[in-house]
Structure 1
Amino acid sequence: MRTVIVTNPPRADLAQVGTLADYGVATVHEALGRSGLLGPHLRPIQDGARIGGTAVTVLCWPGDNLMIHAAIEQCQPGDVLVVTTTSPCSDGLFGELFATALQHRGVRGLVTGTGVRDVTDLRAMNFPVWSAAVSAQGTVKATAGSVNVPIVLGGQTIHPGDAILADDDGVMVVPRSHIDRALRSSQARIEKEQASREAFRNGQLGLDRYNLRSRLTELGVEYVTAEDYRS
Structure 2
Amino acid sequence: MSNIGCRIFTEIKRPDKELIDQFRGLPVANIGDNMNRIYCVDSNIKSMNGQSLVGTAFTLHLPSGDNLLLHKAMELAKPGDVLVVACGGMERSYCGELMMMYARNKGIAGFVIDGCIRDIDECEQLDNFPVFAKGVMPQGPYKHGPGEINVPIAVGGQVVFPGDIVVGDRDGLVFVHQKEAEDVLKKAIAQNNKENKLKEIYEKGGLQPSFSEELREETLAKLSCEVIEGCFEF
TM-score (norm 1): 0.90
Change in 2 beyond 3 A, CA 1:147/1:194: same
Change in 2 beyond 3 A, CA 1:15/1:4: same
Aligned residue for 2:194, secondary structure, equals helix
Partner of 1:204: 208
Q: Deviations over 1:73-105 (max 9, x none)?
A: 1111111111112x3344211101111210111
**Residue 157 (structure 1) aligned with residue 151 (structure 2):** no
Whole-angstrom CA distance in 2 between matches of 1:207 and 1:16: 30
Aligned counterpart for 1:31 among listed residues 23, 31, 34: 34
Report if the CA contact (8 A) 2:49-2:125 is conserved. no
Change in 2 beyond 3 A, CA 1:214/1:89: same
Whole-angstrom CA distance in 1 between matches of 2:176 and 2:124: 26
**Residue 146 (structure 1) aligned with residue 148 (structure 2):** yes
**Residue identity opposite 2:98 in structure 1:** L
Q: Deviations over 1:98-134 (max 9, x none)?
A: 1121011111211011100011111222221110111
**Residue identity opposite 2:126 in structure 1:** M
Change in 2 beyond 3 A, CA 1:34/1:208: closer
Runs (5+) with no aligned partner, structure 1: none
Partner of 1:109: 110
Partner of 2:220: 216
Whole-angstrom CA distance in 1 between matches of 2:212 and 2:90: 48
Report if the CA contact (8 A) 1:55-1:161 is conserved. yes
What CA RMSD, in Å, does the superposition of the two structures yield over aligned residues? 2.0
Whole-angstrom CA distance in 1 between matches of 2:31 and 2:20: 11
Report if the CA contact (8 A) 1:20-1:182 is conserved. no
How many equivalent pairs are there? 227
Q: Cα offset for 1:147?
A: 1.0
Partner of 1:11: 14
**Residue identity opposite 1:222 in structure 2:** V
Whole-angstrom CA distance in 1 between matches of 2:211 and 2:94: 48
Whole-angstrom CA distance in 2 between matches of 1:105 and 1:217: 58
Partner of 1:97: 98
Greater per-residue helix proportion: 1
TM-score (norm 2): 0.88
Runs (5+) with no aligned partner, structure 2: none
**Residue identity opposite 1:211 in structure 2:** L
Partner of 2:24: 21
Change in 2 beyond 3 A, CA 1:159/1:203: same
Partner of 1:57: 59
**Residue 225 (structure 1) aligned with residue 230 (structure 2):** yes
